[in-house]
Amino acid sequence: MSTTKSKTNLHIVAYPFPSAGHIIPLLDLTHLLLTRGLNVTVLVTPSNVHLLEPYLSTHPSSLKHLVLPALVPDIKPSPPHKRFLAIVRALRDLHYPFLLQWFQSHPSPPVAIISDFLLGWTHHLACELKVPRLCFSPSGAFGMSVAFSTCRDPPKNNDPGEDINFLISFPNVPNSPTYPWWQIENFPDLEADPDWEFHRNSMLANLESWGIVFNSFASLESVYFDHLKREVGHNRVWAVGPVLPLEGDLIGSATRGGASSLPCHKLMTWLDARPDNSVVYVCFGSRAVLTSKQLKVLATALECSGVHFILCARVPDDQGLILNGFKDRVGDRGLVIKGWAPQVAILKHRAVGSFLTHCGWNSVLEGLISGVVMLTWPMSTEQFTNALLLVDQLDMAIRAGEGTENIPDSNELARLLVVSLDKSKPQNVRAKELSDAALSAAKGGSSDKDLDELIKQLADIKKLE
């Protein structure tokens, strides 16, 4: 992307949702804005300040940060989706008055707020402050289209406890996607719950915001960007991705997001000793914890397939013995990483030929840029939508599994692991085409131009003050 430094005197606030998978892409976007001469203050919670370090050292004068009050962990235990909703609402209650006071007392307050889509309430803060609010989506336009439709018209199932495969369709979304009930993010039991209502209103507030910025690129999801522009009633919907650094040191790619149990140089040495396109990288993200059944199927498939592999997965403490014996049996053919993995560095290595992924959007883009074939095994929420996009609409991935409901047979998964490394497969051709398209968009193409247009429109607002 362009790195032309021309001082704009624009000062904006960037407010990521306090989770690594949301913070890092917004920091990457912040990096791009800083290289174009903006001044940015990042809002960050105490436990996530360390994620800012490589960016602060790269932009010591134009990047500032404000440490927000920490959320006291007194949310009562509950099912995961209820707990998540309660946390999001508690963040609003804690941070809204703090930020209002900070803005109003600042000698040179920011002229705009860009905040994560899970922080839709910041639209109301921006309205009170009389500044534009940009919604940032670290997810794709397809996933957001489904999420917005779900919130506007929550799907119904008269017997969700029994009929989990009841089909839900979205005829108003392009390509009319259809999902079994268990794959849809919905909270039908919470319609009268204030936390659910707050979440729904926050999501809909994103549609009312001044603009929406996506970590995606136009040619990947063009039909969904056109759809969202119709939904919001204007053209201030920008596709500026992939925002992750594409060259150089990748803003500390070896330690991006955390520390690995296996040092990056040891990983690279192991990969250097492998032939081109011979390694399957397996990772289910930083949040998904594999069940005992999932882990046993995966370990058996990796063992029986005979492929070289790197496995990075969170497992329950009581399942450690499965991997201990597993590591002894596969020997030097595979590596097991506990904790965070230097995923970008791994995927860009010439020895890695395919990627078994949970289909989180960050992983999708990192795999796409690397040009590797993806095996999809989504675990929750918009990951199912991302898998549908990769397999059925882009023809660049192979479906392997779906959550805990569709766990593949270990023999079939072993076969797919081998197939994924076959460079003659059509998915390999499509993966390379889309990799080229992503790089072209980010290097002087549509994403570069969208980011320049976004900054121009913000500067025009500043001139009118």
pLDDT tens sequence across 138-174: 999 999 999 999 988 888 877 766 678 889 999 999 9
Helix 361-370 vs helix 20-35: angle between axes, to the nearest 10 degrees?
Answer: 60
How far apart are alpha carbons 343 and 254 in whole angstroms?
A: 8
Beta pairing partners, 445: none
Q: What is the pLDDT of residue 161?
A: 65
265 is catalytic: no
Q: What share of the chain is helix, strand, coil (3-state, %, to 5)?
A: 50, 15, 35
59 is catalytic: no
Determine which of 234-238, 338-342, 398-402 has the lowest per-residue pLDDT on average: 338-342
Contact 269, 295 (CB under 8 A): no
Q: What is the pLDDT of residue 462?
A: 73
Confidence bin at 374 (pLDDT 50/70/90): very high
Contact 351, 271 (CB under 8 A): yes
What mean pLDDT value characterizes the chain?
89
Q: Write the pLDDT tens digit of every residue in 271-291.
A: 999 999 999 999 998 777 888
Determine which of 82-86, 132-136, 293-297, 308-312 has the lowest per-residue pLDDT on average: 82-86
Which is catalytic among the residues 22, 227, 308, 358?
22
pTM value is 0.93
Q: Write the pLDDT tens digit of every residue in 36-95.
A: 999 999 999 999 999 999 899 999 999 999 999 998 766 665 677 778 888 899 999 999
- Average pLDDT, stretch 119-124? 98
Q: What is the pLDDT of residue 351?
A: 97
Highest mean pLDDT among 82-86, 330-334, 338-342, 449-453: 449-453
Contact 79, 52 (CB under 8 A): no
- Average pLDDT, stretch 314-323? 66
Q: Is the pLDDT of residue 413 over 60?
A: yes
CB-based burial of residue 169 (10 Å sphere; 0-12 exposed, 13-18 middle, 19+ buried)?
exposed
Question: What tokens were used for 425?
Answer: 């497969």
Q: Write the pLDDT tens digit of every residue in 5-23.
A: 455 679 999 999 999 899 9
Q: What is the pLDDT of residue 4?
A: 47
Q: What is the pLDDT of residue 319?
A: 59
Which is catalytic among the residues 31, 59, 95, 116?
116
DSSP characters for 174-221? Answer: TT--EEEGGGS---GGGTT-HHHHHHHHHHHHHHHSSEEEESS-TTTS
Q: What is the pLDDT of residue 256?
A: 62
Q: What is the pLDDT of residue 250?
A: 47
Q: Is the pLDDT of residue 2 over 60?
A: no
Is pLDDT larger for residue 257 or for residue 241? Answer: 241
How far apart are alpha carbons 32 and 3 in whole angstroms?
A: 8
Q: Is the pLDDT of residue 184 over 90?
A: no
- Cα 96 to Cα 101, 198, 442, distances in angstroms: 9, 14, 34
How far apart are alpha carbons 280 and 300 in whole angstroms?
A: 15
Q: Is the pLDDT of residue 1 over 60?
A: no
Q: What is the pLDDT of residue 186?
A: 56
Query: SS3 of 116, please?
Result: strand
All structural domains of the chain, each given as residue ranges with its CATH number in brackets, are 11-246+444-464 (3.40.50.2000), 256-439 (3.40.50.2000)
